[in-house]
A and B are shown apart, each in its own frame.
Chain A
Amino acid sequence: MIDYLSNNSDVVLAALRQHVPLAFLPLLIGVVLALPVGYLGVRFGWLYHPLLNASGIVYSIPSLALFVTLPYVLGTRILSPVNIVVALSLYTLALMARTVADGLRSVDASLTEAATAMGYRRTRRLLEVELPLALPVVLAGVRVAAVSNISLVSVGALIGVGGLGALFTRGFQLFYPAPILVGVILSVLLAAVTDLVIVSIQRAVTPWSRASARRA
């Protein structure tokens, strides 16, 4: 494995460089889209359950099936990285929309009432009271979405765009485990580092929740 790494460091680095944007761009798009969608699920209560169901359905579509179908829906080429980005954005949106909704619903009603009584209007109350208090739940969702995106990108290698997944298909074609092992380890490491970064952000932006660890 060490031999493989030292002889092919350029290939491995190129794969990693391709992997990172394919995982993080959809994370960003999905989270940005999920904030308004999740809010609507709380603002209009009747939307909450349809939102949960729709999110469950999108989340249950196997990634490979979505990757190969999107070119027909979007009119993109099958080898285009856009397919991966759109597919992972959809998964992120599906997961995050319900997380945002659950996060906002978890905010203690007496706090929003207090904010209203202090003269906060709806928008300001949302941005300055409800959203910050929902952050622990929302960021727990971001962790999951980030980690799953990082591991899902590699499935794209089966349609020719996969970042570290390209190491898997190459190793498989040569029947040589070293590149696969390198790819798996790098993918897991990337996920672990990302997770740690999000946890640190979470600690920094929600100092009040540090005392009581909410995640069981």
Chain B
Amino acid sequence: MGDDTPYLLDGTHWSGPTGIPHLLLAHLGYTGVALLCGIAIALPVGLYIGHTGRGSFLAINAGNAGRSLPTLGLLMLMVTLMGLGFLPVLIALTVLVIPPILTTTYAGLRNVDRSAVDAAVGMGMRPWQVLWRVEVPMALPVMLGGLRSAALQVVATATVAASVGLSGLGRLLIDGLSVNDYGRVVAGAVVVAVLAIVLDLGLGLVQRYVVSPGVSGRGLRRRGARASAERLDPDLL
């Protein structure tokens, strides 16, 4: 130490296995894999519960149950039970993805105007068609909101994964703390925070353009046409 170059501006910190690009890629890798696993489990279950209304107790309570699970504890418990490695961390991260996806998928489907569903059935649509052509498109804003909170949760927790020996941006924080290199700690915090914010804004844009204009009211000239619709806040489900 002793040099005054800020960590992020020092070229040596941008290459090699401890360089920021490498850590960033590892971080995004953990996040992506965990999100995919979580979605693969929670989406079908959420669609089933939302479409049929069966097992809604599970979907309603998953959100609060998931929030109450302490991330760090879950992570460390998995590692002490299964040993060091990616699999225990992946399981812990996946467990965190499931509740937001499950609850928002369920709430999104349940919140669809019943008359639209009845009309679809009346037009002769099969249950599968009702689900994919009516319910899912109308529930999409809420479902994508759930994806956003799941993604943020995983990006944040992937930081904590460095404390159980994994790579990712958390390395900058954990290693920086252990050797009292505060420049590195702050650099890591800034990169992680920027990553999370960019991810959130990016998913927000996706949400804006994937949702049908008929649902979002985007491009409608009449102001206030959708303003009265109550916002279903995915963070509160």
A150 to chain B, nearest CB (A): 7
- In the assembled complex, the CB of B74 is this many whole angstroms from the nearest CB of chain A, namely 7
CB atoms of B80 and A172 under 8 A apart: yes
B interface, over-half SS:
helix
* A121 CB–B CB distance under 8 Å: no
Q: Are B159 and A62 in contact (CB under 8 A)?
A: yes
Instruction: Give the contact stretch, choosing among A34-42, A126-134, A156-164, A202-210.
Output: A156-164
Chain A contacts with B in 60-79, Cβ cutoff 8 A = 60-66, 68-69, 72, 78
Complex: A9 Cα to B180 Cα, angstroms = 33
Of residues 38 to 88 in B, which have CB atoms within 8 Å of A's CB atoms? 60, 64-65, 67-74, 76-77, 79-81
Q: How far is the CA of A95 from the CA of B237 in the complex (A)?
A: 13
Q: What total of A-B pairs shows CB separation below 8 Å?
A: 158
CB pair A99 B236 closer than 8 Å: yes
**Known contacts A180-B80, A184-B77; A158 and B163 CB within 8 A of each other:** yes
State the interface size on chain B (CB cutoff 8 A).
50
Interface size class of chain A, counting residues whose CB lies under 8 Å from the partner chain: 35 or more
Instruction: Say which residue of B81, B155, B196, B236 sits within 8 Å of A177 (CB atoms).
Output: B81
Instruction: Report which A residues bind B (CB closer than 8 A).
Output: 56-57, 59-66, 68-69, 72, 78, 95, 98-99, 102, 106, 140-141, 143-144, 147-148, 150-152, 154-155, 157-159, 162, 164-165, 167-169, 171-172, 175-177, 180-181, 183-184, 187-188, 191-192, 195, 215-216
Footprint of A on B, CB under 8 Å? 60, 64-65, 67-74, 76-77, 79-81, 107, 110-111, 152, 155-157, 159-160, 163-164, 170, 173-174, 176-177, 182, 185-186, 188-190, 192-193, 196-197, 199-200, 204, 230-231, 233, 235-236
